[in-house]
Chain A
């Protein structure tokens, strides 16, 4: 009844190829962005710092992996390590050039990750599927090793950890301990919105279409003039860029200090689960997946406390694991294509509601 495009006529090509051709979609998105911008005014520090900030960062990382796995069909298990490349290069840049704005460093550090991603993406020209997953696994282990064994990367700190110096934007501190959650949140929100918009446009354009052709059938794509070298490596570069920026944001704007454990194989798996649960080849799926995989455990752990009955913390942790595991199985049985597909079905149902004809 409310959600239908009847009567919305497109009179030029520009309007017809808009990202959100339907008026209601545009309104919905405006509403979501507006809510995202006013949340910090009402939410507690805990909500911002422990949920919203990491949720946005992991969404960005999931977009990165989704570009590679969901759109280009190349399975990768090295996401955590590529995030690490972004974080460590941002740390090096920030300590070598302390006067340059930290935002520039964060955006630049993605290019280092992209370079490393391209190198480890080279085998994808020869091998596919699970075999490629193994080579990206090699990237994961190699880079973890490098983060531990090359002390130059962490400026020879005794602890082997990278610690974030304080940096400001318009003289408001946005990194370091004295940066308020609100300031950090807005910076991250702006970056994530901007990068998501760039990603969505690239995916809709020529490059994104060539990725999808490679994903759907690489031989046919090659026959039609798509160079696998360009398509696959650009997917690796683009994906690693997003992961690298997410990694830099994670350390600089969320954790404040990090050891190599933050970029281990579990991190890679978590991001992969976000993509699978959220929906392969869908941007909104990345956000839904990140909210589910990252946010739900926090929520489940906090539940007993909120409901007012005491549960000891270890039990809460076990319960949270069981609940999450159960829910993952439940959702994958109900909808193997992830939340993005559920969302799509909801939208289709909404179109004909309340008088479905089929």
Chain B
């Protein structure tokens, strides 16, 4: 009897599966959000996903969507796992997805070859493959506002301005994954050019919270500066360990995924002085953020904890949504259509202009540097600033630092050529 009920149950559910066809509503801009609110990296994934969704939902509430069409944000849980990320991609792409923001270098690498085939652009905002900055090679991938390599060069510039680079020893501690390894080729090439030494300290994913041996090596190697490419639980641990061996924290710079409230709140006062790169404004002192607070958060339409609005990663997710919204608006203007497709979205991403005037109009004055889309350059102007942890909060320390475009540019081109060298079928584009 029980078996019979079981079989009947399975059959019934199978019927529902078979009969369910994804009916994409045509009057809608569908933006999937590959988020991760579970797993070891949820600490970073949650605020980012909140910021991303809240901004687009705020546009729906305040302006009735973009160009009069509502935006639908649908989250799909990836757990920062590449296989689940691809599963999410497959599950959402047929619903008319406009753009993917995977927030994971691993997932981005999987999606890059799929993007041209399915005609859906990938916006890996400040992560993913650095070489994707070359628009002629990667028509469907964007890394606005800046790539890992450009950012690394900005950080090196900061070091240069604060005591010089020549003859210094830089320690590079990184999460041992596609993400963490990404800037190493740049260090290898820039080291001899700019006259600094560097040593690497890899941290395996499962040892994120156990970095004793790496920091013992740091003590042995005595680098003048430390740079970190960390994510998730790794960041707080690294700052704690650095403080423990009395490494001067104002000479320890994290990249923009290693400098959020989620990372430093558990460290607290012990992390005072720690530096990190950032490209999205800090705090809630922006009219747009006030709108989000009023229309979404206070109305109970968000998953965010009201205290956490304005956190570094919340604002980063919001900034990602701003770029998406601007690209949609540009695409609508360019094509004259209200409901756009992934291919139109690509045009939008290549043509939007986010300068200070536009940022002010959006209610985000001085939120970030200028970002301008173009066919050739898929990373935008890409300046970052350095922020410092004062024991309780992040404070902006430096002005915007532009990357060393003249040095990084040719390296990016070479990397893009290498990527396509064993893929004869790869299709680039020519920019007029």
Contact = CB atoms under 8 A, between A and B. Distances in A.
Interface of A: 44-46, 49-50, 95, 98, 148, 155, 158-161, 163-166, 176-178, 255-259, 261-262, 298-299, 301-303, 306-307, 312-314, 316-318, 346
Interface in B47-78: 75-77
A177 B77 contact: no
B181 A160 contact: yes
Contact of B425 (A178, A255, A299): A178
B91 A50 contact: yes
A306 B17 CA distance: 7
A62 B37 CA distance: 30
Interface in B279-301: none
Interface in B27-63: 35, 37-38
B113 A257 contact: yes
B113 A159 contact: no
A178 B423 CA distance: 12
B114 A256 contact: yes
Given A148-B176, A312-B303, A46 B425 contact: no
B110 A158 contact: no
Interface in B86-139: 86-87, 90-91, 94, 105-106, 109-110, 113-114, 116-117, 129-131
B83 interface: yes
Nearest to A265: B206
Given A259-B177, A312-B303, A313-B35, A176 B422 contact: no
A307 B177 CA distance: 38
B129 A256 contact: no
Contacts of B114: 177, 256
B422 A95 contact: yes
Given A177-B114, A306-B16, A255 B82 contact: yes
Contacts of A301: 77
A218 to B, nearest CB: 35
Contacts of A317: 37-38, 77, 79
Contact of A166 (B17, B105, B110, B423): B423
B9 interface: no
Contacts of B423: 163, 165-166, 176
A163 B184 CA distance: 19
Contacts, number: 110
6 contacts: A50-B86, A158-B131, A159-B109, A257-B110, A303-B13, A313-B35
B182 interface: yes
Contacts of A98: 422
B365 interface: no
Nearest to B181: A160
3 closest residue pairs by CB, A with B: A314-B37, A177-B113, A313-B77
Given A177-B113, A262-B82, A262-B83, A313 B76 contact: yes
A257 B422 CA distance: 14
| Chain B interface, >50% SS class | helix
A262 B184 CA distance: 22
A95 B418 CA distance: 14
A318 B38 CA distance: 8
Contacts of A302: 17, 91
B81 interface: yes
A234 to B, nearest CB: 32
Contacts of A44: 22, 94
Nearest to A260: B177
Contact of A158 (B3, B205, B415, B425): B415
B185 interface: yes
Contacts of A316: 77
A232 B17 CA distance: 44
Interface in B311-365: none
Nearest to A178: B117
Given A148-B176, A158-B182, A307-B16, 7 more contacts: A98-B422, A176-B423, A177-B113, A177-B116, A255-B110, A313-B37, A314-B35
Given A46-B94, A158-B184, A313 B75 contact: yes
Contacts of B35: 313-314
Contacts of B204: 148
Contact of A261 (B81, B113, B181): B81
Nearest to B427: A178
Contacts of B81: 261
Contacts of B422: 95, 98, 155, 165
Contacts of A298: 87
Contacts of B38: 314, 317-318
Contacts of B91: 46, 50, 302
Nearest to A318: B38
A174 to B, nearest CB: 13
Interface string B376-417: 000000000000000000000000000000000000000100
Nearest to B202: A148
Contact of B75 (A95, A178, A312): A312
A259 B86 contact: no
Interface string B18-29: 001010000000
A219 B83 CA distance: 44
Contacts of A307: 16
B248 interface: no
Contacts of A166: 423-425
B178 interface: yes
Contacts of B76: 313
A166 B427 CA distance: 12
Given A49-B90, A313-B37, A160 B178 contact: yes
B243 to A, nearest CB: 28
B181 A159 contact: yes
A102 to B, nearest CB: 14
A323 B16 CA distance: 19
A239 B185 CA distance: 38
Nearest to A145: B204
A207 to B, nearest CB: 34
Contacts of B184: 158
